[in-house]
Amino acid sequence: MRLLVGLGNPGSDYARNRHNIGFMAVDEIVHRHSFAPFRSKFQGVLSEGQLAGQKVLILKPTTYMNESGRSVHAAMAFYKIPLQDIIVFHDEMDLAAAKIRIKTGGGHAGHNGIRSIQSHIGAGFKRVRIGVGHPGAKDKVVGHVLKDFSKADQQWVDKLVDAIGDNAGLVVAGDDSGFMSKISLAINPPRPKQQRTEPVDNSNDKENK
């Protein structure tokens, strides 16, 4: 059994914030793979389904970002899920917009949701870090993550979320590099090769004149 956690803040006011891209990602997994409807549980909402031949739980804490760890710990303890079987999807300012990287453990880099989870269960869980870019100055960080994606951003956000939904089975199966490759190709598909036009040979026409 795997536990997939999407991080964000509950409520319509936050729904399109950069900070909520973790919620967006797991919502698409639930939708794309016909998981059960979310139900209130563990200070969050929980859905169940199958990915890569495994039972998968998807959790969205509704404690607000800074207390995400309470919800994750409750679900982990109830189902006795090992730390290494927990995968957290979250926004990452240290990555350029639309970039995605996977890591296990490591510091929280100032992300309050990750900080809270680490304080409750430790740091050995897997993290799908979804780049939202950095505003450039420390005093602009809060405003950056708590603002909606711009209209210009929306094109890559939609592609990225769709690709996460399509390929979630790879990360559940442990194929992290395959997952990241699929996401990269979805965001930046290769350009179609131009067909070369062969020169026309008119030599026979000249000989027949």
- Does residue 108 have an active-site annotation? no
Q: Which residues contact 24 (CB under 8 A, 6 or more apart)?
A: 6, 8, 157, 161
Q: What is the DSSP string of 11-29?
A: STTTTTBGGGHHHHHHHHH
Annotated active-site residue in 19, 90, 111, 144: 19
* Cα(165)–Cα(24) distance, integer angstroms: 10
Q: Is 38 helix (H, G, I), strand (E, B) or coil?
A: coil
Residue 155 sits at the vertex; the CA angle it makes with 186 and 22, to the nearest 5 degrees, is 75
Helix (H, G, I), strand (E, B) or coil at 7: coil
Query: Residues near 191 by Cβ (< 8 Å), separated by ≥ 6?
Result: none
**Six-digit token pair at 164?**
């996460």
Catalytic machinery residues: 19
